[in-house]
Structure 1
């Protein structure tokens, strides 16, 4: 086994219908430019249109790198806590046991496919959604399942995680927006003070 280097990003900003906005398009271009200096082997994306388009744009900045769909990257709630934090109760209102079980199944499939060392050294880009980025970070840190809650992720922000053969995973970057100018950062969050 060898190290799998994952570069995980939430798709660019999208409208209410799931289509990348002009801002999302530019964020995706800048993300691709940042990743162009790396030895990327593949770009994987969620099947949802906003992630597909973001991956196409990123892939366009990485000549010769295949861009492929990975169903495990689809947007879903990965874990519904048994003891609900009061501030999250409204968010989970209406989730039934079947939906929670399906979310757990998808989360296990995501981790099983990507959150492990590779057969050979690999550098893979994952274009996915905020909850999946949070779940992969939680998994890499071996944190309790409910710790994915509150790990916000900006559009086109970069998270880098290495999965080693004989060592614990290493979270190298989380939610890094250094490639984005200030006016393109923090999309996807509610109103708040921004550092």
Structure 2
């Protein structure tokens, strides 16, 4: 059976200007070592600098594997709920219907391109952003559209989804940071207790 293996990763830690930090580069080198054990066919990345740089680090460890931009992976809000949860109300202030429609269009394009079976077995790395990883996971689980709001992922974390010729996708791994030492985990999250 031809399986499309999608390895969705969030870019390495970035500064407020969107550039990958030294910590982010360390994170991505460790993730690249982990990915090097897989038969990766392609690395796709968002057009934003933090994802471009993170994908380049992965590409250095995967000689001969094409590293290419995919507009569908750009950072955006994939779905604006009709009634945002109370903790999110301020986040959605100012989103007008045009922005919400564009986010929905991009979210649909992301799923159309990367969340369906391929004709042959493939292993693709998607270097993207937290909201896009959450949207892919929400889709794989068949969860309601608003459910992406409760899915967070750390910088350089690994999520694996299998798309088969028949049947629903399988979420194989989510937000795994086992390749990172404790001091490099949990970046990209707000303050709080971590397991």
Shift of 1:84: 1.5
- Distance in 1 separating the partners of 2:58 and 2:83: 39
- Aligned residue in 1 for 2:100: 100
- Aligned residue in 2 for 1:176: 176
- Distance in 2 separating the partners of 1:81 and 1:167: 28
Shift of 1:83: 1.5
- Distance in 2 separating the partners of 1:99 and 1:133: 20
**1:56 counterpart = 2:56:** yes
Q: Summarize deviations over 1:126-183 as a string: whole Å, max 9, x none.
A: 0000000000000011111000002011000000000001121000000000000000
- Distance in 1 separating the partners of 2:75 and 2:53: 15
How many equivalent residue pairs?
Answer: 195
- Aligned residue in 1 for 2:128: 128
Q: Summarize deviations over 1:25-67 as a string: whole Å, max 9, x none.
A: 0001011000000000000000000000000001111111110
**1:189 counterpart = 2:189:** yes
- Distance in 2 separating the partners of 1:109 and 1:168: 18
Matches within 5 A, 1:1-195: 2-195=2-195
- Distance in 1 separating the partners of 2:104 and 2:28: 29
- Distance in 2 separating the partners of 1:152 and 1:84: 17
Shift of 1:2: 2.5
Unaligned runs of 5+ in 2: none
- Distance in 1 separating the partners of 2:141 and 2:2: 19
Q: Summarize deviations over 1:106-128 as a string: whole Å, max 9, x none.
A: 00000000000001110000000
Shift of 1:5: 0.1
Q: TM-score, normalised by structure 1?
A: 0.99
The 4+ residue runs of structure 1 with deviation greater than 2 A are none
Bigger Cα displacement from structure 2, 83-92 vs 45-54: 83-92
Q: TM-score, normalised by structure 2?
A: 0.99
